[in-house]
């Protein structure tokens, strides 16, 4: 299976023959202020390996047949030949800024574009009944996965009955919703109770609720970064299958964002990103002081924090479990791919959408 590649050191990406080479620590253009990007030669590059040790090599060979997507967290220079090469092989490049915020994506020309598919996707967005059917399934699956995550900790002795009862009421309310506004209201109240429970799960982390843009504490800095990674994975899968990521069903359509990826990400936040956050924050793998930095009231992951969280997230994507419907073991990454394929099948009229609901 192809891998995600993560870059955390400055350098140049170059093409030679039918391969890519990453030149580590190459001189950057003079207009770039290197003091704004205090990165050393520490590199996480291949998701399958994600080495922890510093690389002493000045050139790294990257077999193009192993590349699924590229994530850039440092100053990387690309030549036109490289972008053309990546475009021909349908490899997107996701760009993050110094703060770990998602900036944008280089998307190659999509070979999966279909006029009929686009018309069907838009029709399901414009028709209130068709949109509600998809949105309701996505929201109910998201709420059920919140329930599953809290139930995991409730079964281990935490007192989460109040929050679980409220979430289950909101699931019933979502299922009986007759409009998008009521559906969104049920989802919002479910999320409020869901995040209220985090203070008990995260023990002594002083979590006072979800905040973002910018995050105001280390817990929210971790969550925001994990959600950004998941969002881009979902956007990538929409792109791969030929769905327009700007046409959504739960989130309102907006400029400059792939709102369909936000819809799909909501299904998986509780069982992928949130569980990664709990695993990191309740162990010694992540330190709130040494792995974050503050700028005014805002709190961001520092370079080491970004690497640690990205590594744990990628490990989660590659973790496998037995899928009851498919009757075989799949990874969480394959699960996301499967859910996007199910959405496409629903839009085509092939099979009614039934989003994934965790049972553990």
CATH code: domain of residue 202: 1.20.120.920
**Per-residue pLDDT at 283:** 86
DSSP calls for 41-108: S----BTTT---SPP--SEEEE-GGGEEEEEE-S-EEE-HHHHHHHHHTT--EEEE-TTS-EEEEEPP
Distance CA 53, CA 63 (A): 21
Examine residue 290 and say whether the peptide bond preceding it is cis (omega within 30 degrees of 0): no
Is 353 part of a structural domain of the chain?
no
Among 106, 126, 143, residue at a domain's last position: 106
- Whether 39 shows a pLDDT value over 60: the answer reads no
One domain for residues 137 and 39: no
One domain for residues 37 and 143: no
Which is nearest to 338 in space by CA: 349, 354, 319, 360? 354
Q: pTM for this structure? A: 0.88
One domain for residues 39 and 135: no
Is 160 part of a structural domain of the chain?
yes
Rounded-to-10 torsion of CA 105, 112, 266, 147:
-140
- Percent of the chain that is helix, strand, coil (3-state, to 5): 45, 15, 35
Which is nearest to 264 in space by CA: 284, 245, 285? 245
Q: What is the pLDDT of residues 184-229, one digit of tens each?
A: 999 999 999 999 999 999 977 888 899 998 999 999 999 999 999 9
Local structure of 240: helix, strand or coil: helix
Is 356 part of a structural domain of the chain?
no
Counted domains in the chain: 2
One domain for residues 126 and 99: no
One domain for residues 96 and 231: no
One domain for residues 85 and 169: no
Is 50 part of a structural domain of the chain?
yes
Name the strand (E) or helix (H) holding 16. strand 11-16
Is 143 part of a structural domain of the chain?
yes
Name the strand (E) or helix (H) holding 7. strand 3-7
Q: What is the pLDDT of residues 170-184, one digit of tens each?
A: 999 999 999 999 999
Structural domain of residue 298, as residue ranges? 115-348
Is 355 part of a structural domain of the chain?
no
One domain for residues 48 and 97: yes
- Whether 33 shows a pLDDT value over 90: the answer reads no
Backbone angles phi, psi at 73, to 5 degrees: -110, 5
One domain for residues 183 and 315: yes
Which is nearest to 187 in space by CA: 207, 172, 201? 172
One domain for residues 42 and 125: no
Which is nearest to 94 in space by CA: 125, 69, 60, 61? 69
Q: 135: which residues sit within 8 A by CB, 6+ positions away? A: 180, 183, 249, 250, 263
Instruction: For residue 63, give the CATH number of its domain.
Output: 3.100.10.20
One domain for residues 223 and 193: yes
Among 65, 82, 106, residue at a domain's last position: 106
Partners of 301 in the β-ladder: 292
Q: At 68, list the tokens.
A: 């699924």
Is 342 part of a structural domain of the chain?
yes
Average pLDDT value for residue range 57-78: 88
- Res. 124 pLDDT band, cuts 50 70 90: very high
Is 360 part of a structural domain of the chain?
no
Q: What is the pLDDT of residues 13-26, one digit of tens each?
A: 999 888 899 998 75
Local structure of 279: helix, strand or coil: helix
One domain for residues 68 and 119: no
- Whether 41 shows a pLDDT value over 90: the answer reads no
**Per-residue pLDDT at 113:** 65
Q: 108: which residues sit within 8 A by CB, 6+ positions away? A: 86, 87, 88, 89, 90, 91, 92
Q: What is the pLDDT of residues 85-120, one digit of tens each?
A: 999 888 999 999 888 889 888 988 765 667 889 999
**Per-residue pLDDT at 17:** 83
| DSSP 8-state class, residue 327 | T
Among 88, 106, 124, residue at a domain's last position: 106
One domain for residues 40 and 177: no
Q: What is the pLDDT of residues 311-346, one digit of tens each?
A: 999 999 999 999 999 999 999 999 999 999 999 999
Are the beta carbons of 282 and 202 closer than 8 angstroms? Answer: yes
Distance CA 32, CA 111 (A): 35
């Amino acid at each position: 299976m192809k891998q995600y590649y993560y870059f955390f050191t400055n350098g140049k990406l170059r093409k030679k023959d039918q391969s890519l080479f990453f030149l580590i620590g190459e001189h950057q253009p003079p207009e770039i202020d290197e003091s704004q990007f205090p990165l050393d030669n520490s590199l996480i590059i291949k998701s399958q390996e994600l080495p922890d040790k510093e690389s002493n090599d000045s050139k790294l060979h990257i077999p193009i047949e192993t590349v699924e997507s590229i994530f850039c967290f440092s100053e990387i220079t690309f030549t036109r030949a490289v972008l053309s090469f990546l475009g021909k092989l349908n490899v997107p490049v996701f760009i993050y800024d110094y703060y770990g915020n998602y900036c944008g994506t280089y998307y190659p020309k999509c070979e999966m574009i279909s006029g009929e598919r686009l018309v069907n996707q838009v029709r399901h967005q414009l028709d209130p009944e068709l949109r509600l059917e998809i949105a309701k399934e996505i929201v109910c699956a998201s709420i059920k996965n919140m329930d599953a995550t809290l139930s995991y900790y409730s079964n281990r002795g935490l007192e989460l009955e109040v929050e679980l009862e409220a979430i289950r009421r909101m699931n019933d309310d979502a299922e009986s919703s007759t409009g998008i506004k009521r559906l969104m209201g049920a989802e919002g109240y479910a999320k409020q109770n869901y995040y209220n429970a985090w203070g008990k799960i995260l023990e002594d982390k002083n979590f006072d609720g979800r905040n973002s843009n910018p995050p105001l504490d280390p817990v929210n800095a971790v969550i925001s970064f994990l959600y950004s990674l998941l969002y881009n994975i979902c956007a990538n899968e929409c792109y791969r299958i030929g769905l327009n990521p700007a046409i959504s069903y739960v989130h309102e359509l907006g400029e400059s964002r792939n709102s369909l990826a936000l819809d799909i990400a909501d299904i998986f936040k509780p069982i992928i990103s949130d569980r990664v956050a709990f695993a990191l924050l309740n162990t010694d793998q992540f330190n709130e002081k040494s792995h974050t930095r503050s700028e005014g009231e805002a709190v961001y992951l520092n370079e080491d924090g970004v690497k640690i969280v990205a590594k744990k997230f990628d490990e989660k994507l590659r973790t496998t479990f037995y899928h009851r419907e498919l009757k075989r073991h799949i990874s969480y990454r394959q699960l996301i791919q499967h859910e996007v394929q199910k959405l496409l099948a629903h839009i085509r009229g092939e099979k009614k959408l039934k989003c994934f609901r965790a049972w553990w």
